[in-house]
Amino acid sequence: MVFCTTPDINTARQLAADLVEKKYAACVNIQAGIESVYEWQGKIEQEPEVLMIIKTSSARYPALEKWLAQAHPYDTPEIIAVPVEQGLPDYIQWVNSVTAQK
Protein backbone atom coordinates (compact mmCIF):
# COMPACT_ATOMS: atom_id res chain seq x y z
CA MET A 1 0.00 0.00 0.00
CA VAL A 2 1.32 3.43 -0.94
CA PHE A 3 0.38 6.81 0.51
CA CYS A 4 0.73 9.94 -1.60
CA THR A 5 -0.62 13.44 -1.03
CA THR A 6 -1.63 15.81 -3.82
CA PRO A 7 -2.49 19.52 -3.87
CA ASP A 8 -6.12 19.09 -4.97
CA ILE A 9 -8.87 16.66 -5.92
CA ASN A 10 -8.43 17.03 -9.67
CA THR A 11 -4.74 16.15 -9.48
CA ALA A 12 -5.54 13.14 -7.29
CA ARG A 13 -8.24 11.95 -9.68
CA GLN A 14 -6.00 12.24 -12.74
CA LEU A 15 -3.03 10.54 -11.08
CA ALA A 16 -5.29 7.78 -9.72
CA ALA A 17 -6.86 7.14 -13.12
CA ASP A 18 -3.43 6.98 -14.76
CA LEU A 19 -2.07 4.65 -12.08
CA VAL A 20 -4.94 2.22 -12.59
CA GLU A 21 -4.89 2.50 -16.38
CA LYS A 22 -1.14 1.79 -16.49
CA LYS A 23 -1.61 -1.20 -14.13
CA TYR A 24 0.66 0.33 -11.49
CA ALA A 25 -2.27 0.10 -9.08
CA ALA A 26 -5.34 -2.07 -8.76
CA CYS A 27 -7.27 0.57 -6.84
CA VAL A 28 -6.73 4.09 -5.49
CA ASN A 29 -8.79 5.58 -2.68
CA ILE A 30 -8.96 9.38 -2.66
CA GLN A 31 -9.47 11.16 0.65
CA ALA A 32 -10.11 14.89 0.37
CA GLY A 33 -10.15 17.30 3.28
CA ILE A 34 -6.85 16.58 4.99
CA GLU A 35 -4.49 19.28 6.18
CA SER A 36 -0.72 18.87 6.24
CA VAL A 37 1.67 20.76 8.51
CA TYR A 38 5.33 20.47 7.55
CA GLU A 39 8.60 22.32 7.30
CA TRP A 40 9.70 23.24 3.79
CA GLN A 41 12.76 25.33 3.00
CA GLY A 42 13.05 26.54 6.60
CA LYS A 43 9.42 27.62 6.93
CA ILE A 44 6.45 25.93 8.63
CA GLU A 45 3.73 25.34 6.05
CA GLN A 46 0.08 24.44 6.61
CA GLU A 47 -1.81 23.42 3.48
CA PRO A 48 -4.95 21.51 2.50
CA GLU A 49 -4.15 18.34 0.59
CA VAL A 50 -5.81 15.25 -0.82
CA LEU A 51 -4.53 11.80 0.16
CA MET A 52 -4.31 8.90 -2.26
CA ILE A 53 -4.16 5.39 -0.81
CA ILE A 54 -2.78 3.25 -3.60
CA LYS A 55 -3.17 -0.55 -3.68
CA THR A 56 -0.35 -2.20 -5.59
CA SER A 57 1.93 -5.21 -5.46
CA SER A 58 5.51 -5.16 -4.24
CA ALA A 59 6.60 -6.23 -7.72
CA ARG A 60 5.04 -3.10 -9.27
CA TYR A 61 6.19 -0.64 -6.62
CA PRO A 62 9.48 0.40 -8.30
CA ALA A 63 7.72 1.29 -11.56
CA LEU A 64 4.90 3.02 -9.69
CA GLU A 65 7.36 5.12 -7.68
CA LYS A 66 9.35 6.13 -10.76
CA TRP A 67 6.26 7.09 -12.76
CA LEU A 68 4.53 8.89 -9.87
CA ALA A 69 7.63 10.90 -8.97
CA GLN A 70 7.81 12.17 -12.56
CA ALA A 71 4.06 12.78 -13.05
CA HIS A 72 3.43 14.44 -9.68
CA PRO A 73 3.32 18.26 -9.56
CA TYR A 74 5.35 18.52 -6.32
CA ASP A 75 9.16 18.78 -6.46
CA THR A 76 9.40 16.17 -3.69
CA PRO A 77 6.12 14.26 -3.49
CA GLU A 78 5.21 12.11 -0.53
CA ILE A 79 5.43 8.54 -1.81
CA ILE A 80 5.49 6.15 1.14
CA ALA A 81 5.08 2.40 0.80
CA VAL A 82 3.79 0.35 3.70
CA PRO A 83 3.93 -3.44 3.50
CA VAL A 84 0.65 -5.30 3.80
CA GLU A 85 1.28 -8.18 6.17
CA GLN A 86 -2.20 -9.66 6.07
CA GLY A 87 -5.41 -9.23 4.14
CA LEU A 88 -8.29 -11.12 2.65
CA PRO A 89 -6.51 -13.62 0.38
CA ASP A 90 -8.95 -13.06 -2.50
CA TYR A 91 -8.35 -9.29 -2.35
CA ILE A 92 -4.57 -9.67 -2.23
CA GLN A 93 -4.75 -12.07 -5.17
CA TRP A 94 -6.89 -9.57 -7.09
CA VAL A 95 -4.37 -6.74 -6.50
CA ASN A 96 -1.54 -8.99 -7.64
CA SER A 97 -3.40 -10.18 -10.74
CA VAL A 98 -4.44 -6.67 -11.82
CA THR A 99 -0.93 -5.27 -11.41
CA ALA A 100 0.90 -8.27 -12.87
CA GLN A 101 3.16 -7.33 -15.74
CA LYS A 102 2.20 -9.02 -18.94
Give CA–CA dist 35/93, Å, rounded.
Answer: 33
What pLDDT does residue 101 have? Answer: 77
Give the chain's domains with CATH numbers: 2-99 (3.30.70.120)
Helices (H) and strands (E) in the chain, counts: 3, 4
Where the chain has pLDDT below 70, the residues are: 102
Q: What is the pTM of this model?
A: 0.94
What pLDDT does residue 41 have? Answer: 92
What pLDDT does residue 102 have? Answer: 63
What pLDDT does residue 91 have? Answer: 97
Q: Which of 39, 34, 29, 35 is nearest to 2 (CA)?
A: 29
